[in-house]
Structure 1
Amino acid sequence: MLTAPVRQLGESERRAVERLLDSDPYASAQVAERVAARGLAWWRAEGRVLGYGNRRHLESVCWLGGNLTPVLASSQAVAAFAELLSGEERLCSSIVGHADAVLELWDRLAGTWGPARDVRPNQPLLATGAMPEVRADPQVRLVRGSEIDLLFPAAVAMYTEEVGVSPLAEDGGRGYRRRVTEMIRSGRAYARFVDGRVVFKAELAVVTRRTAQVQGVWVAPEWRGRGIATAAMAAVVRDALNRVAPTVSLYVNDFNLPARRVYERCGFRLVGTLATVLF
């Protein structure tokens, strides 16, 4: 028996959902962006939003689409979401969110949804609302539409290195290329070019009214160790704060010490801990 009502939410409860998402603006950024763009109506949303709690007091939500994201989920909420989801076929490619909720959710779902390809239990969630004190690289700029063929190989290399599988595997990369093209079109893709090649790249993969979340940070292997990343990230943060959102956020694997040092130099501070389960 469910420990509390779990139900699929609709547009009539959008304000309650938005208030809840606003109370956790960094960890829930991906869900907030989707809700802002598509609302909660099942026929136009890119996924389902499940709610935990009675109709007078929404305690937690769980996004179920390409990924599964619990938001502000207590242990009781996790148990209720897991009980409902364990009866469904897994369609998501990852579970991501606050570490305690994600790891407990995965513990409850692993028996029916497993195995996972990778579990990353400790991913520091970082944010800043201040301009970096370090120098910004003037050669880092927004990528132009005509430069998709230059950016795409770097994006594929970053994805393969970070996720562990190639984005070209499923459909020859058509879907991923559309995603990269959209990042360029919407003014969210940054790069530094040297002799027609990308040596640094990053995207504002998620944008809400509260934060711009950076993903896809990558330095070409032959340029690593030269100290370009700090100034390059500073350029991204400065532009994002000036042009896009009041804060910039990101999350990083705990073992990626070089990246964590770069982010610290750019003014990022710890605001939480996420975890990711990859399928």
Structure 2
Amino acid sequence: MGWRPALRSRSPAPGDGGGAGARVLGAEDLVEARRVCAREPVTGVLAAARLDIALHVGLAAAGGQVWGYPAAGDLRAVCWAGANLVPVVPSALDRGDADDAVAAFAAVAREQGRRSSSIVGERRTTLRLWELLSAVWPPPREVRTDQPSLVLDHDPQIDPDPRVRVSDLSELDLVLPACVRMFTEEVGYSPVAGGGSAYAARVRALIAERRSYVRIDPDATGAPRVVFKAELGAVAGGVAQVQGVWVDPELRGQGLAASGMAAVVALTRQHVAPVVSLYVNGFNAPALATYRRVGFTQVGTFATVLF
């Protein structure tokens, strides 16, 4: 289903909070929306990356909408609405203004219905947005309420794995199955069930953009296999967010994740962006320990609602 025409300011429904409302932004608003994301470069990198695409090739090609709060006047908060619903409410806003922004985004989301596979962002904002939508949107598959947001803006604290490198399009048939295995482990279903051409296209695009990192070793028969991989899922404003970190299950516990991530950090900071970020489930103690060993520190907490 395509996106509906732009909605403009309307009176809030009962329980919405403030009456400033939100509006669907047009091309003329994108620069200002991007400035809002720049106030929160780590938290806002997902939305900022989509806005950068929209600024370059247009909103339609970027694959979603962007909503702005308030409906009139200078923007104070934005929300990307595409495959993911990503609210960006700057921490400098006072509590009342922040709550009004979230309520305004919830009003637009209720009006349009659920079109995103997840809601993701800063924990308080994300969970409040879901609270306002939960009565009218279908139940989620999972709500992840504690996802430490980690950042590294200096060289890694351990030696990088010299075998980790940028992958090549000629290796798509090796990289794609590893990505599918990671996604299935993490989310609980295969992204290529029923065809999955969009997921395969996304993996191909990341490889083409040199944002896919791999270590490929021979297996027992001498055939090549991916033993470590990670991608830069979003890059904007000097921040690169790592996603999809995965080690072949047969080789876990051997330190490949730590040295592999050190290599990803070193290569990213050298060629892509000076700040490397990621978020991880709080219950994943081994992953947290690995990232902290590499040198990542926590700067906030995310939450994700998965549909």
Band of TM-score, shorter chain: over 0.9
1:246 to 254, 268, 274: 274
Q: Deviations over 1:207-234 (max 9, x none)?
A: 1132111000001111111111111100
Matched, 1:235 2:252: no
Structure 1 residue identity aligned to 2:249: P
- 1:82-109 superposed Cα distances (whole Å, 9 cap, x missing partner): 1232122211100001110111111111
1:276 aligns to what SS in structure 2? Answer: strand
Q: CA deviation at 1:53?
A: 1.8
**Once superposed, which parts of structure 1, at least 4 consecutive aligned residues long, lie more than 6 Å away?**
none
Task: Report sequence identity in percent.
Answer: 46
Q: TM-score, normalised by structure 1?
A: 0.95
Q: What is the Cα deviation at residue 54 of structure 1?
A: 5.3
Secondary structure at the counterpart of residue 112 of structure 1: coil
**Aligned counterpart, 2:151:** 127
Q: What SS does the aligned partner of 2:274 have? A: coil
Name the CA distance, whole Å, in 2 between partners of 1:214 and 1:114.
29
- Does structure 2 retain, via aligned residues, the 8 Å contact 1:82–1:108? yes
CA distance in 1, matches of 2:78, 2:99: 13
Measured in 2, the distance between the counterparts of 1:181 and 1:86 equals: 34
Residue 191 of structure 1 pairs with residue 214 of structure 2: yes
Determine the structure 2 residue equivalent to 1:264: 292
State whether structure 2 residue 75 is matched by structure 1 residue 58. yes
Q: Deviation string for 1:1-34 (max 9, x for gaps)? A: 3221311112222232121110101111111111
Task: Report the TM-score, using the length of structure 2 for normalisation.
Answer: 0.87
Q: Distance in 1 between matches of 2:230 and 2:48?
A: 21
Partner of 1:18: 34
- Select which of 140, 164, 175 maps to 2:198: 175
3-state SS of 2:232 partner: strand
**Alignment CA distance shift 1:43-1:179 (3 Å):** closer
Question: What are structure 2's unaligned runs of at least 5 residues?
Answer: 1-10, 13-18, 91-97, 219-223
Length, aligned pairs only? 278
5+ residue gaps in structure 1? none
Determine whether 1:93 maps to 2:121. no
* 1:17-57 deviation line (CA, Å, top 9, x unaligned): 12111010111111111111113955444211111125433
Q: 1:202 aligns with which of 199, 205, 230?
A: 230
Does the CA contact (< 8 Å) of 2:179 and 2:244 recur in 1? yes
How far has the Cα of 1:136 moved from its partner?
Answer: 0.7
2:245 maps to which residue?
217
